């Protein structure tokens, strides 16, 4: 029995892409971002192949089945399936972007929705809107970013590139695009270190780690290492209490009232983090009864005043993790960045296994680079 319109409409996004089969080779490919794409599987010249039939809901189930019949007739004649020649214009990036925008309706908070719409209309669509998505190049994305920076909006450039990535990624998952051309394009932009949160790049990080490791073993130094290994904000670290930690499951549950996003946050605990906690006196249940500037004082003491901050650890880690091809969504989830508006609201637990693996890699990276 084939699919119904209701089944396709109600198909929800999951952690991984999945398929809903209709019959005659036709199926719906559902991406983690919620995109739904009609695909047809067929054999030609002895090889298994796939054909992109269309996008749901722009193409309904009846239309998709009709297209499959046409394609099957082509195969019967020994012809390679090709798109039907129609008078309608080729789908452009703006068409894909608007579909993505509608799919996020009700998911983004009001501020995020407003900022994202503004960036689409002000920066992204004027630069890329009239290009078919398969013809967009990394150069196009870089030129968009540089133009935004030239207007004085440095931080917005990287966020706009992230939005473009969110729009294109479902097409990669569905097989309509070979790759996400936005990957690594931010490297071509001018470096942007927020005024209050300077950070280090991968080449300069080892020297800082060695200097920090050679500093006197104080609770403030341990706080700095704790921030490095967990990537939480300073306030989230300073008020951490023992009862928030599940040592058996190796999870730290930060309550909503201490989070910038006002949502509870889960942090995977790596072995170095557990070692740090074990070495702390934990007076009155608090792990780090230190002042707001304690970590900053340690950073200044080891010779890095104005070069990096405790908050800058997060920017450094984000850059390195992205460069090593970890999932941008997992990185953003680890940093609890949902409220910033670059990515859609997420379920913190959704990426937890992936974040646990990522943070284990990150802790190992820190230990190796302090040697």
* The total number of residues written for the chain in this structure: 371
Q: Extract the tokens encoding 94.
A: 């703006």
User: Which residue in 147, 222, 197 sits closest to 312, CA to CA?
Assistant: 197
Cα–Cα distance for residue pair 345/329, rounded to 1 Å: 10
Whole-number pLDDT of residue 344: 41
DSSP state of 269: P
- Is 239 strand, coil or helix? coil
Whole-number pLDDT of residue 87: 35
Q: What is the pLDDT of residues 141-165, one digit of tens each?
A: 988 988 887 765 666 888 899 899 9
What is the value of pTM for the model shown?
Answer: 0.50
Burial 227-245 (b: 16+ CB within 10 A, else e): bbbbbbbbebbbbbeeebb
Whole-number pLDDT of residue 15: 78
Residues with Cβ within 8 Å of 282's Cβ and at least 6 positions away in sequence, in order, are 242
Q: Which residues are catalytic?
A: 233, 260, 311, 314, 337, 346
Walk me through the domains of the chain, giving residue ranges and CATH numbers.
5-76 (3.30.160.390), 93-188 (1.10.150.130), 205-369 (1.10.443.10)
Q: What is the pLDDT of residues 151-206, one digit of tens each?
A: 656 668 888 998 999 999 888 887 778 788 888 787 777 554 444 457 788 889 99
Whole-number pLDDT of residue 88: 37
Whole-number pLDDT of residue 192: 45
Whole-number pLDDT of residue 83: 53
Whole-number pLDDT of residue 89: 46
Inter-CA distances, 338 with 36, 112, 136, 332, 353, Å: 23, 9, 27, 7, 18
Cα–Cα distance for residue pair 59/64, rounded to 1 Å: 6
Below-70 pLDDT ranges, the chain: 1, 33, 80-90, 151-155, 190-197, 338-350
Cα–Cα distance for residue pair 129/95, rounded to 1 Å: 8
Residues with Cβ within 8 Å of 163's Cβ and at least 6 positions away in sequence, in order, are 116, 119, 120, 124, 342
């Amino acid at each position: 029995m084939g699919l119904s319109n209701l089944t396709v409409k109600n198909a929800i996004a999951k952690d991984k892409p999945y398929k809903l089969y209709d019959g005659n080779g036709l199926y719906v490919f559902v991406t983690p971002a919620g995109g739904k794409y009609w695909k047809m599987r067929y054999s030609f010249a002895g090889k298994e192949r796939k054909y992109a039939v269309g996008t749901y809901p722009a193409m309904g189930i009846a239309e998709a089945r009709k297209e499959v019949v046409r394609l099957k007739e082509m195969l019967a004649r020994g012809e390679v399936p090709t798109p039907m020649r129609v008078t309608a214009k080729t789908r452009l990036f703006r068409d894909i972007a608007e579909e993505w925008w509608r799919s996020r309706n009700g998911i983004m908070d009001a501020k995020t929705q407003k900022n994202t719409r503004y960036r689409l209309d002000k920066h992204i669509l004027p630069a890329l809107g009239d290009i078919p998505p398969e013809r967009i190049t990394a150069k196009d994305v870089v030129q968009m970013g540089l133009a935004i920076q030239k207007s004085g909006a440095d931080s917005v450039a990287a966020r706009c590139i992230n939005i473009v990535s969110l729009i294109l990624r479902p097409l990669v998952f569905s097989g309509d695009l070979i790759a996400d051309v936005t990957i690594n394009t931010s490297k071509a932009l001018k470096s942007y270190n927020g005024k209050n949160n300077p950070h280090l790049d991968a080449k300069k990080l080892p020297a800082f780690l060695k200097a920090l490791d050679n500093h006197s073993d104080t609770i403030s130094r341990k706080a700095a290492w704790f921030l490095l290994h967990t990537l939480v904000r300073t306030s989230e670290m300073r008020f951490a209490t023992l009862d928030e930690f599940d040592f058996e499951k190796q999870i730290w549950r930060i309550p909503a009232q201490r989070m910038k996003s006002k949502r509870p946050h889960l942090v995977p605990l790596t072995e170095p983090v557990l070692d740090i906690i074990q070495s702390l006196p934990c007076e009155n249940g608090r792990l780090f009864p230190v002042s707001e500037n304690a970590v900053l004082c340690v950073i200044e003491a080891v010779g890095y005043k104005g070069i990096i901050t405790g908050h800058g650890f997060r920017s450094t880690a984000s850059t390195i993790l992205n460069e090593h091809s970890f999932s941008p969504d997992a990185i953003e989830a680890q940093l609890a960045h949902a409220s910033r508006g670059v990515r859609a609201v997420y379920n913190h637990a959704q990426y937890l296994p992936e974040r646990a693996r990522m943070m284990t890699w990150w802790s190992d990276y820190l230990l190796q680079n302090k040697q």
